[in-house]
């Protein structure tokens, strides 16, 4: 990894972020409004309105799952299609192909920082005190970033070869969301169902946010061993394929 590659990734990520903000009247407000609207709709559906039960605890329960998973969905949807999206650049100039999914994941990570600030402010405003334990969210964030990057590398490496995979990415992303325990506590499910659901590595991530922000517990790297392993395996596999097929992608993308 050269300084030129890092500089290119950073400049393209910032450029994508600015372009994204300029493509709508509300700009960066949409980065916060979209997940909040979705959370509000789900809250109304699950509780039959604000008078139907749930209260602030359920709102925060949803937010601690919905906002982080929106980061993942955006990263996988764009990162997994990174080579297809940038086929014009790939056909004209040579860049190591791992750069392109990395750019999208970093762009979506910067967007998520706005949502994370909103999440922390909401938790505080609804009566949960700021704690030094919040610093341990660093482990959760790094773990989720690794997962997002690894899964994006893996999909981006094979999508040009099997274009149909790009059509499956939204479904795969939604599957990750609905099985990660956003709407329910996985620990309340039967043990055999829990075992199946915990095959989704993002379950550990969602539980990490809730553990720190809602339950007053510290997050430790050991709690994310399965997620670490899953992310590293995807990252290595995707990077190897991207490197092996580096010179063949322009031909498949034409």
pLDDT at 242: 95
pLDDT at 25: 61
pLDDT at 79: 92
Residue 34 burial by Cβ neighbours in a 10 Å radius (0-12, 13-18, 19+): middle
* All structural domains of the chain with their residue ranges: 3-253
DSSP label at 83? Answer: H
Q: How many CA atoms lie within 13 A of 77 on its CB side?
A: 14
Task: Answer for the pair 214, 128: CB distance below 8 angstroms, yes or no.
Answer: yes
Give the tokens for residue 233: 């395996």
Report, as ranges of residue numbers, the positions in the chain whose pLDDT lies below 50.
Answer: 49-52
**Cα separation of the two ends of the chain:** 27
> What residues contact residue 122 under an 8 Å CB cut-off, 6+ apart?
60, 63
Q: How far apart are CA 45 and CA 148, in angstroms?
A: 29
pLDDT at 93: 85
Can you give the pTM of this predicted structure?
A: 0.88
């Amino acid at each position: 990894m050269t300084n030129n590659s890092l500089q290119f990734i950073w400049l393209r990520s910032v450029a994508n972020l600015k372009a994204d903000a300029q493509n709508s009247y509300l700009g960066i407000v949409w980065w916060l409004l979209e997940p909040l609207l979705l959370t509000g709709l789900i809250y109304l559906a699950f509780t039959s309105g604000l008078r139907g039960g749930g209260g602030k605890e359920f709102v925060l329960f949803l937010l601690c799952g919905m906002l982080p998973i929106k980061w993942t969905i955006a990263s996988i949807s764009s990162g997994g299609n990174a080579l297809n999206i940038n086929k014009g650049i790939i056909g004209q100039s040579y860049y190591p192909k791992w750069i392109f999914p990395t750019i999208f994941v970093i762009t979506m990570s910067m967007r998520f920082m706005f949502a994370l600030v909103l999440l922390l402010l909401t938790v505080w405003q609804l009566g949960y005190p700021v704690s030094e334990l919040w610093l341990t969210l660093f482990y959760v964030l790094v773990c989720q970033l690794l997962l997002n990057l690894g899964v994006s590398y893996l999909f981006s490496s094979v999508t040009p070869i099997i274009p149909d995979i790009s059509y499956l990415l939204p479904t795969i992303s939604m599957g990750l969301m609905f099985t990660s325990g956003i709407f329910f506590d996985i620990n309340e499910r039967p043990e055999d169902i829990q075992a199946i659901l915990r095959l989704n590595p993002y379950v550990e991530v969602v539980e990490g946010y809730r553990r720190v922000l809602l339950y007053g517990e510290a997050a430790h790297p050991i709690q994310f061993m399965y997620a670490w392993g899953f992310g590293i395996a995807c990252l290595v596999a995707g990077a190897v394929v991207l490197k092996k097929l580096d010179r063949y992608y322009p031909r498949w993308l034409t």
